[in-house]
Amino acid sequence: MRSTSLRAPAPCGSDGVGAAACTALGCCFDATAAQRCAHPSDVETRTLDELIQQRKAAASSAAAEGLAPSSLAIGEDLWAGYSDSCRYGMPAMGPEVREGMTWGIGWRRYHDLLSMRIAAGDQGPANTTGYQAVFYGDSILEHFMGSSGGVPEMQSGNASVVSPDMAAMRAVWNRHFGFRYRSAMAAISGDQVGHLWWRMLHGELPAVNQPGVVVVLIGTNDLGAAADCEAASEEDLVAAANRTIAARTRDMLAVVRRALPDTHVVLMGVLPRGASLGGRNAFTWPNRFTNAIAALNARYESFAEGDPMIHYLYCSDRFVNPDGEGIVKALMSDGLHPHAPGLEVISDCLAPLVAKSAGSASEQSRVVDCWGWCDRC
Which of 43-52, 151-160, 178-187, 341-350 is modeled with the greatest confidence?
341-350
**Which residues, in sequence order, are CB contacts of 231 under 8 Å at separation 6+?**
81, 82, 85
Instruction: Kindly give the interhelix angle for 107-120 and 193-201, rounded to the nearest 10 degrees.
Output: 50
**What does the pLDDT read at residue 69?**
39
pLDDT bracket for residue 31 (50, 70, 90): very low
- Show me where the domains of the chain are located: 11-40, 42-368
Spatial distance between the Cα atoms of 180 and 44, rounded to a whole number of angstroms:
29
Amino acid at 283: F
Q: Provide the CATH number for the domain formed by 42-368 in this structure.
A: 3.40.50.1110
207-239 pLDDT, tens per residue? 999 999 999 999 999 999 888 876 678 998 999
Alpha carbon of residue 237 to chain centroid: 23
**What does the pLDDT read at residue 154?**
61
Report the pLDDT averaged over residues 195-200: 95
First and final CA of the chain: distance in angstroms? 5
Give the residue with greater pLDDT, 264 vs 36: 264
**What does the pLDDT read at residue 101?**
80
33-58 pLDDT, tens per residue? 433 333 334 444 445 455 445 545 55
Residue 372: pLDDT over 80: no
To the question of pTM greater than 0.85 for the whole model, the response is no
Residue 152: pLDDT over 60: yes
pLDDT bracket for residue 116 (50, 70, 90): confident
281-338 pLDDT, tens per residue? 999 999 999 999 999 999 999 999 989 999 999 999 999 999 999 999 999 989 999 9
**What does the pLDDT read at residue 308?**
96
Strands (E) in the chain, as ranges, are 133-137, 147-148, 151-152, 154-155, 158-162, 183-187, 213-217, 264-268, 310-313
Residue 147: pLDDT over 70: yes
**What does the pLDDT read at residue 103?**
78
Helices H / strands E in the chain, number of each: 14, 9
Residue 264: pLDDT over 90: yes
* Average pLDDT over the chain, rounded to an integer: 77
**What does the pLDDT read at residue 376?**
28
**What does the pLDDT read at residue 88?**
52
Poorest-pLDDT segment among 77-81, 228-232, 253-257: 77-81
pLDDT bracket for residue 12 (50, 70, 90): very low
Spatial distance between the Cα atoms of 298 and 372, rounded to a whole number of angstroms:
35
**What does the pLDDT read at residue 230?**
62
